Amino acid sequence: MRYFLILILVFNSCKEKKELRVQNLEKQNTEYAVFIVKENKTNIITSIFEDLTSNNLNNKNHYFTDKENDTIRLNVGKGKQLYFCTKYNYRDTVFVANGDTIFIDLKNEKNEISSNKNLFDIKKYKKTNKINELKLNYIEVSKDYPLEIEPSEYEKRKPLYPVKVDFNKIKTDVNGVNNLIEVIKNDLINGYRYYDSIAEKKPLKRNYIEQLKENLKIDCFSEAITIYNFSLNDEAKKFLISNRFINEGLFEDNYSYQIIYRLINSILLENKKKSLGHKIIIDYKKAMSLLPNYFKGDNLAFSQIVCIKAAIDEGHSKESINELINNYKKNKINTNYDLYISKIEKDYFLKKNDKNSSEVELSDPMKLKVNLDKLLIENRNKVIYIDFWASWCAPCRKAMPASKKIKEQYKSKEVVFLYISIDNSFEAWQKAMNKEGVSENSFLAINYPEANFYKEKALKTIPRYLIYNKKGELVNSNAPGPDSDEIIKELNKYLED
């Protein structure tokens, strides 16, 4: 028996540490659900968000507050599943409807959540333990030595657990894996029957029951796709692309984005990635061409949007994103996502991409356009130090404190510090810029990497620093970083010229 040790994130949004269920009274016709944050004395960021779906692409679905006491009002209709988290807590889950009031008490840096409604009396469907028993034939999860993951500023992350997978057995024991998939399938069927029987008796709680059914569905889907990824089992694939998951209403499900995204990676692209320079990326162009083999109608339209959104989130180039958008427009099925596409084109400055442009086009934080030549002219008779960076570049951001320190050191001298981000996203750049405290003389590169300037300077990796002398001439195209010992000597040299 041959084992391979791998790490996977044991996480499922349906298996949260704690779930608060808030009664949904359909007869109540109030305008908002109210969330009251209190006792946040350390001003940590509290995050309230919902799953990304086809229905909320154009709306804000993530809310933050760092106030000691705050009130947030959201229109959630007859009911939505929302999540709460801070960097000290794993996410908590709540099903909330208009008319509900949720209290989030952050005293002692904990999420103490309560509500103005009674908890549901619906007993959840309990999945059979046979799934876990059968999985042990192939997959062994050890929780004795979890790898703790550093929390983000918004959320404490689930730990990673070491997992042993017997790849030889899971790929060759076809009957055993088929049996496991059948058990997962039956669990989903029996769970649906259980919830449907309750819905007949408690029609006022139907919205919450439908959410429980969706939670069960994504849970079974995650079990099956994990098994498929290790085994490439045909029955697992048939189950995953069956109408249990890919049906007419998929695009409207709360977990539609997650299901389609994982199907694209596991089924359409067979978990294969392609190399692009120094990056390994998912080939969403290929995925887009394969989508019609699996999705139709509204599901196909939304799956195209999933490819575009995923490419943006994973930092693909503007050229690649533009190509995906053009493919979407060429084969457009409906107009449901035109507003979303227009917003992307505006936020990412995608409509104009002149590959032979002689200008380095930039945007300031107010979205006013400027070009590098103009900045060089405006700062003639000064030494100009340009920092090319991005929100996702850890070394770039690590050097920012040193950059601000040097900037302060030269504030009374003829030196100008310019910060040019090559981020795809205006919002990601703006957020990182404000967090790092470099909003002055800060710009977003609009036509990177198409402009000739970037090609001539071979500006492919960041951080990258340039120095212009007082005449506006580029005198160092690969200057020392702000955290180096040489930078002071270099700047002083051109100040004295």
List the catalytic residues. Answer: 393, 396
Q: Residue 44 carries which side chain, given as an amino acid letter?
A: I
Distance, CA of 91 to CA of 86 (rounded, Å): 8
CA angle 253, 259, 260 (to 5 degrees): 100
- Reference 65, options 38, 32, 27; nearest CA is 38
Q: Residue 301 carries which side chain, given as an amino acid letter?
A: A
In DSSP notation, 7-67 reads EEE---TTS-S-EEE----TT---S-EEEEEE--TT-PPEEEEE---TTSTTS--EEEE-S
In DSSP notation, 412-472 reads TTTEEEEEEE--S-HHHHHHHHHHHT--TTEEEESSTTTSHHHHHTT--SSSEEEEE-TTS
Distance, CA of 386 to CA of 108 (rounded, Å): 44
Distance, CA of 187 to CA of 228 (rounded, Å): 17
> How many C-beta atoms lie closer than 10 Å to residue 398's C-beta?
12
Q: At what angle do helices 400-409 and 487-496 cross, to 10 degrees?
A: 30
**476: which 2 tokens?**
């160092």
Q: What is the DSSP letter of 5?
A: E
**111: which 2 tokens?**
């999420």
Q: Which residues pair with 232 in a beta bridge?
A: none
Contact 329, 350 (CB under 8 A): no
